[in-house]
Structure 1
Amino acid sequence: MQGFETPHRIRFCMALFFFVVAAGLLCGCGLFRNEGEEDGVPQVEMAVFEGGFGIDWHRKTLDRYLELRKSAGRPVAVNMWGDPRVLDKMRPRVLRGSPPDLSDALFPVWKFVLADILFPLDEWLDQPAVGQENITWRESFIPGALNPFTYRGKVYGIPLVFNAWLVWYDETLFQQHGWSIPKTYAEWLDLCAAIESAGIAPIAFQGKYPQYADALFWSILQHLAGIHKVEACQNFLPGAFLDPAIVQAAAMLQDLAQRYFQKGSLTMSHTEAQMEFCNRRAAMIPCGMWLENEMRHAFPEDFRLSCFAVPGIEGGKGDSTALVALGWQAFFVYRQGGNPREAAELLKFMLSKENSREWARMVSTVSSIQGATVREEVSSGVGDALDIIQEAAYTFDNRLYDLFPTWRGEAWIPTLEKLIAGRITPEEFSRIIEESMERLRKDPTSFKPPPRPLPQGSEVEGTV
């Protein structure tokens, strides 16, 4: 999230004129704003999404923080509440200009930064990490975890987890059939053929949501042509999507889908496809790291979930260990909350290495903090994913997906779906996406951040 131009910011703020004026009037009357302090004790409000992970960790961490502040003679009062509909409940408060101080509700981050709604956290990121005084809080994060929340060098969101897109499989099933984990893309295709010959669908796919193929496409492109071709697209370079590498990557994805995606998968929801995988009617499934928690009640007792990254391509120009992954499930501090500085201090404590280790252990996931996820303390599947993340030369992501939601919904996802379904050729895919990007490039109302730097660790791939 690296910088929108000033004219765009002015246009966006003008679009918000009426509710901004209303917020100013209401807050001036003291009707909705948290005052931030009561009887000399700072007040902080924290709103949390209460989903499958629950909020037990948040409560335990908060109790420790309150006791620490009290024993240090610096008491603070925190009103924390959780709700599955936290987004809906926060929306009118944000419009009124009276949001909680701290929340993990997933609003459009880019627009909120432009409207000056979010509070930058760099002052705290550059302080020593809690319990790790030899490094800064910023340095404690997995490389790349903060990138999606960075705007013109300032960080506006702190991710709780680090999500990688991987290919998941059942180790028990693989052992029964003598199948090995593929080391190259060609070996993956051979494996798919062997699985199919055994009467099992090679790959389950969440076809009602074609965006599940997004990471597959970018992984293939990076392995095939290198990170520079990926970043040419991510940085809006004219003609980037007309590159022959794009056509070749699209052809490889289409071939994989047409030959080895489970029959009928394009009509399946994510849970339907994942049930096919859990019931062993399909041997593999591409998915993010939430798969285990989402389907934990559906796996047979002898199911041993494991994973591998999209394999490298023989003769490809990209590092075969590079991975589509990014910081996820972020917390944000709101500038218009009653006490954003106290909220930032609380957030820094919450995401210490010790507290993050407890989070990873409680919900079996990979924390965004380096070293906080201990393999022996999480499930074997998450442990395998952790190994892949740690061995990756670098991580990268498709920032276009979140930058341009209208483009995503009207161009990228529908065109990706047509490619997978075989309704357009790879050449047509390339042309359609390039034309849609060219409209964006020429659109003065669309926010286009400046080029982002190459991921740390990708230097060995050379230049375009």
Structure 2
Amino acid sequence: MSSHRDLSRRSLLHGLGATALFAFPLSACATSGGGQAPPTGAAGVAGPGNPFGVAAEAPLEVVIFKGGLGDEYATAVHEPLYQARYPKAKIKHVATQQIAQTLQPRFAGGDVPDVIANSGTDLMDNAALQAEGQLLDLTQLFDAPAIDNPTTKVRDSLVPGTVESGLIAGKPFVLNYVYTAYGLWYDSALFAKNGWTAPKTFDEFKAVCDKIKAAGLVPFAYPGKNAPYYQYWMILISAAKSGGNQVLIDIDNLADGAWTKPAVKQAAAAWAEIGAKYMDKSYEGLTHTEVQTQQNQGKVAFFPSGSWLENEQKEQTPAGFAYAVTPTPSLPGDKLPFPAIRAAAGEGYLVTAKGKNNAGGLEYLRLMLSREGARGFTQKSGSVTVVRGAADGLPLSPGNKSVAALQTAAGNDIITYSSFEGWYKELETELRTQTNALMFGRISADEFCSKMQAKADATKADSSIPKQNRTS
């Protein structure tokens, strides 16, 4: 999955962890629960070229989730950019696929890194970290002079919605760096060879799945073992197309009855039918890499994912395989048109409030948001960033060309969600469970909606859980 990821990496965004952030409360090492701890660490003299006052010799530690995006973008682009500015600074690079497991004891002991790429299935709960004062407010980053044009602010160089996507309690604590599009991925070369066409409606979806099934392939599959969120993304996108983006705003805001609205039931029922007719039950026990590799082998036709997929599978993708992505099919009476997609800033990067080099962490992110930093990221990872125009003129892969076409067709019909994934960990975990139950035939669409509503109601009623809100 993405580096992602979770866009997300992919994303965000990428994926979200299935377990609680820590086995014991963070408050044991927090100075003041619920607020942001005062910035700590080495300090230098601030000036026009050093807006945060980075100490030239202060060490910097960067922890990177090494998933679908790899970590070469950090070791070959971002860290060298920082080193060029501060040649006396020693940079420690840590790459892992187990972010929470790796950092749990360090947060407990007060020995935290400066920058964290928080993504993957074992990512940390950003809202919980912020509530315990562990994250640095990034407002000063976004208001700092842009490296490429110091007369403008960093925020002015970013695609709209980037800063807002990282808000917690009304302030930006997360930099979502990768611009990710979500949909149904397939091999366009295989489809062209067989005369199959990507569907625009669920009726067309079922018709082409019948042809695919007759040809001996699995028409649709997702990884039920470790990434059922790949599938619940599709359900929620379909719900937003059916009832408008307000459906997902209400879900995020724990609005009464949000999960039992007709749009959600219609979407759940449509996808449950796809699962029942066109997906083998064995996929509940497979991981994302296993299913993705089957697609590369020509065994699976459609796979739900984000635009990190192509790069993540580059080592397993055979010659002649051409990734392409199509929006989720339309349902009768949809409020949003077929080209509407979920596209968002994902892959969260954090600066710790109690790290030894806060200023260096902010400067590292500012370098990431330079044209050189963003362009280099695209070249190394295969994914486009939130820095406007940074990828212009770069040769794009088949998958990224498809994403670009998708974004052009969508125009302003962009679906935004789902903040609850990062806000309410237990609610997200329940959604994983019920998505598998729905797609593998253990519960109906009505039961899916009622079970999710019950968990949302319990979350809303739990006064120990900080509540968040979004308006768009």
Q: Which residue of structure 1 aligns with residue 135 of structure 2?
A: 118
Indicate the structure (1 or 2) with the bigger Cα radius of gyration.
1
Counterparts of 1:40-79 in structure 2, within 5 Å, are 41-49=56-64, 51=66, 53-55=70-72, 57-67=74-84, 69=85, 77-79=89-91
Where does 1:213-292 land on structure 2 (aligned, <5 Å)?
Answer: 213-262=231-280, 264-292=282-310
Q: Match of 2:29?
A: 19
Residue 379 (structure 2) pairs with residue 361 (structure 1) = yes
Q: Cα deviation per residue 1:260-303 (whole Å; 9 max; x = unaligned)? A: 22463333322222222111122121122232233222222111
Paired position in structure 1 for 2:198: 181
Q: Counterparts in 2 of 1:380-391, with a 5 A limit?
A: 380-391=398-409
CA contact (8 A) 2:201 2:330 kept: yes
CA distance in 1, matches of 2:318, 2:287: 21
**Structural RMSD (CA):** 2.9
- 1:401 maps to 421
Give the counterpart letter for 2:350 in structure 1. Answer: F
Mark the runs of 5 or more structure 2 residues left unpaired by the alignment.
1-21, 33-39, 46-53
- Structure 1 residues 21, 236: CA separation in 2 closer, same or farther (over 3 Å shift)? closer
Alpha-carbon separation, structure 2, partners of 1:347 and 1:40: 16
1:426 correspondence with 2:439: no
The answer to whether the 8 A contact 1:120-1:154 is kept is: yes
Looking at structure 2, the residues matched to 361 and 40 of structure 1 have their Cα atoms a distance apart, in angstroms, of: 30
One-letter code aligned to 2:182: W
- The residue type paired with residue 404 of structure 2 is L
Report the Cα offset of residue 220 of structure 1: 0.9
Residue aligned with 1:357, SS? helix
- Larger deviation, residues 436-445 vs 204-213: 204-213
| Normalised TM-score (structure 2) | 0.81
The residue identity in structure 2 corresponding to 1:49 is I
Following superposition, the deviation at residue 412 of structure 1 comes to 1.7
In the alignment, what sits opposite 1:8?
none
TM-score (norm 1): 0.83
Contact 2:218 2:280 in 1 (8 A): yes
Q: Write out per-residue CA displacement over residues 216-236 of structure 1, whole angstroms, 9 at most, x where no aligned residue.
A: 101110111111122222211
Residue 384 (structure 1) shift: 1.4
How far 1:96 sits from its partner (Å)? Answer: 2.9
Q: In proportion to residue count, which structure has more helix? A: 1
Kindly report which structure 2 residues correspond to 1:75-224, keeping only aligned pairs within 5 A, or say none: 77-84=89-96, 87-105=100-118, 106-133=123-150, 135-208=152-225, 209-224=227-242
In structure 2, the partner of 1:6 is none
Cα 1:382–1:34 change in 2 (3 A) is same
Counterpart of 1:370 in structure 2 is 388
**How many residues end up aligned between the 2 structures?**
425
Segments of structure 1 that go 5 or more residues without pairing to the other structure are 1-11, 23-32, 455-464
Aligned-pair CA distance for 1:376: 4.3
Using the TM superposition, give the Cα deviation of residue 158 of structure 1 relative to its aligned residue in structure 2, in angstroms: 1.5
Match of 2:5 in 1: none
Q: Match of 2:343?
A: 325
Measure the CA separation in 1 of the matches of 2:250 and 2:172: 24
Structure 2 vs 1, CA of residues 263 and 15 (structure 1 numbering), >3 Å: closer, same or farther?
closer
- With over 3 angstroms needed to count, the CA separation of the structure-2 counterparts of 1:416 and 1:60, relative to structure 1, is closer
Partner of 1:29: none
What is the aligned-residue identity percentage?
Answer: 24
Judged with a 3 Å threshold, the aligned counterparts in structure 2 of structure 1 residues 390 and 126 are, in CA distance, closer, same or farther, namely farther
Contact persistence 2:42–2:55 (CA under 8 A) = no
Contact 2:59 2:89 survives alignment (8 Å): yes
Whole-angstrom CA distance in 2 between matches of 1:255 and 1:195: 16
Partner of 1:342: 360
Instruction: Report the 3-state secondary structure (helix = DSSP H, G, I; strand = E; otherwise coil) of the residue aligned with 2:449.
Output: helix
